[in-house]
C-alpha cells in the first residue's frame, strides 16, 4: 500500500470513529464540469435573492483558492435522520428534519477540527481548513466526485445504502491522498421528487429553481412571501423535506445516534396553536442553539402566518 492509500485509509477510520457515516476523497483541482452549470444557473436567476451565490465564483470551483497548497478534498457525511419518536406531531406545522436539534454547523465543525487534530497527531504537519455549508464550496459536487453518492433529480446527494438525510462537510488539506472513484446514478426513470414538489421548484430532472423552493421562501427570503404561492406550502414553516420524503432510496435511512440533533421535548407535542402563541422569549429559549435562529423570530412568525391562512 502506497503512502497516499495508507493515509486515506487512516483518515477514513478516524472519521468513522468520530461518528461520520461515510468519508470519500478527491484530488483538489478545478471542477471543470461544474463551471458552465453554475454560470448558467446564476444567469437564469435560480438563486433568487441569495446574492452570496454570485460571489467567489472561482473559489467555488477551485479549492486551491481556499487553501494554500491544497492537495486533497476529504468529503464526509453525517446522518441526521430522526427516529419515529423524535419527531414533530404529524398534525402540527413542519420544520425540516435537519433543524430538529442543535445547529449542525457548530456540531459538525467541532468534529472536523477533532479529525484534523487526529490527522496531525498521527501523520505530522498537515495544514487545512474545515467547511460545513459555510464557505464558497460546492459540497455536493465534491461528495459526488469522492464516490459518496450521486446528485439525484432533486439535486440532493443520494446514497444507495443510506438515502439522503445527511449533512455534507469537507476537510481540504495539503496532503496527497489516494482518491476515490465516483459512483453511478441510480435515479432511473423515477420522478417522485419532481411530481411531489409543492411549488414545482424542480423544473426538470437535476435542475432546481432555488427561488421557487419552500426552503428558500421560509429561510433565505427576507421580504414577504409572494401571495402567488399561497396554498402550496403544506404546513412547512422552516425548510421542506418533501423531495426527500418521497425518494425511494430514503426507505434505507436509519435513525442517527447524535443526542445533539434530537428534537427538544417541548417541541414533540407542539400543536399549531402553540406555534401561533410562540413569543419572542420562548423562541429565544427553544431555538437558542438551533439553525432556526437563522430566520429570527420575525421570520418564523411570518412563515407561520403565511401557512396558517392557507385554505
Banded pLDDT at 249 (limits 50, 70, 90): very high
CA–centroid distance for 74 within its chain: 16
pTM for this one?
A: 0.92
Q: What is the spatial distance between Cα 120 and Cα 125, in angstroms, rounded to a whole number?
A: 6
Which residue, 77, 86, 75, is CA-closest to 19? 77
Q: Average model confidence (pLDDT) for the chain?
A: 91
pLDDT score at 295: 95
Q: Per-residue pLDDT for 208 more than 80? A: yes
In which band, very low, low, confident or very high, does the pLDDT at 252 lie, cut at 50, 70 and 90? very high
Q: How confident is the model at residue 198 (pLDDT cuts 50, 70, 90)?
A: very high
Q: Give the tens place of pLDDT for each residue, 18-69.
A: 999 999 999 999 776 665 565 565 556 544 455 445 555 566 678 888 888 9
What do you get for the CA distance between the two ends of the chain, in Å? 63
For residue 77, the surrounding DSSP H or E stretch is strand 72-79
Q: Cα–Cα distance between 81 and 251 in angstroms, integer?
A: 11
The β-bridge partners of 159 are 163
- Output b/e per residue, 133-151; b: 16+ Cβ within 10 A: bebbbbbbbbbbbbbbbbb
For position 46, what pLDDT does the model report? 45
Selecting among 110, 133, 180, 274, the annotated active-site residue is 133
In the numeric block, the cell 401557512 is attached to 307
Indicate if 103 belongs to the active site: no
Q: What is the pLDDT of residues 90-119, one digit of tens each?
A: 899 999 999 999 999 999 999 999 999 999
Q: How many Cβ atoms are within 10 Å of 227's Cβ, its own excluded?
A: 7
137-146 per-position pLDDT tens digit? 789 999 999 9
Bin 155: left if φ > 0, else alpha if -120 < ψ < 50, else beta: left
What pLDDT, on the 0 to 100 scale, is given for residue 17?
A: 97
Place of cell 470551483: 61
- Asked which of 53-67, 70-84, 241-255 is least confident by mean pLDDT, the reply is 53-67
Asked whether 300 and 238 are in contact (CB, 8 A), the reply is: yes
pLDDT (mean) for 223-227: 95
DSSP-assigned states of every residue in 142-182: HHHHTTS-EE-TTSSEEBTTTBS-EEEEEEEESS--PPPPP
Average pLDDT over residues 178-186: 96
Amino acid at each position: 500500500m502506497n503512502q497516499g492509500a495508507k493515509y486515506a485509509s487512516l483518515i477514513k477510520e478516524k472519521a468513522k470513529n468520530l461518528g461520520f457515516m461515510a468519508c470519500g476523497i478527491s484530488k483538489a483541482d478545478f471542477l471543470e464540469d461544474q463551471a458552465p452549470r453554475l454560470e448558467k444557473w446564476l444567469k437564469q436567476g435560480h438563486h433568487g435573492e441569495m446574492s452570496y451565490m454570485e460571489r467567489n465564483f472561482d473559489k467555488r470551483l477551485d479549492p486551491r483558492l481556499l487553501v494554500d497548497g491544497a492537495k486533497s478534498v476529504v468529503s464526509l457525511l453525517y446522518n441526521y435522520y430522526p427516529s419515529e419518536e423524535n419527531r414533530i406531531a404529524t398534525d402540527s406545522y413542519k420544520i425540516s428534519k435537519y433543524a430538529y436539534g442543535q445547529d449542525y454547523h457548530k456540531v459538525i465543525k467541532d468534529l472536523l477540527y477533532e479529525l484534523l487534530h487526529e490527522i496531525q497527531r498521527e501523520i505530522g504537519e498537515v495544514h487545512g481548513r474545515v467547511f460545513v455549508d459555510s464557505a464558497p464550496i460546492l459540497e455536493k459536487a465534491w461528495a459526488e466526485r469522492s464516490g459518496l453518492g450521486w446528485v439525484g433529480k432533486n439535486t440532493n446527494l443520494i446514497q444507495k445504502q443510506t438515502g439522503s438525510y445527511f449533512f455534507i462537510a469537507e476537510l481540504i488539506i495539503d496532503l496527497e491522498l489516494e482518491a476515490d472513484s465516483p459512483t453511478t446514478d441510480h435515479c432511473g426513470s423515477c420522478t417522485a421528487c419532481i411530481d411531489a414538489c409543492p411549488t414545482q421548484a424542480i423544473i426538470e430532472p437535476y435542475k432546481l429553481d432555488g427561488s421557487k423552493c419552500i426552503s428558500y421562501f421560509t429561510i433565505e427570503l427576507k421580504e414577504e412571501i409572494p401571495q402567488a404561492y399561497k396554498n402550496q406550502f403544506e404546513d412547512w414553516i422552516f425548510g421542506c423535506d418533501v423531495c426527500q420524503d418521497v425518494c425511494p432510496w430514503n426507505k434505507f435511512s436509519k435513525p442517527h445516534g447524535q443526542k445533539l440533533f434530537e428534537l427538544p421535548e417541548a417541541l414533540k407535542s407542539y400543536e399549531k396553536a402553540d406555534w401561533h402563541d410562540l413569543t419572542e422569549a420562548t423562541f429565544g429559549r427553544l431555538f437558542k442553539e438551533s439553525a432556526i435562529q437563522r430566520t429570527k423570530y420575525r421570520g418564523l412568525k411570518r412563515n407561520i402566518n403565511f401557512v396558517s391562512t392557507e385554505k
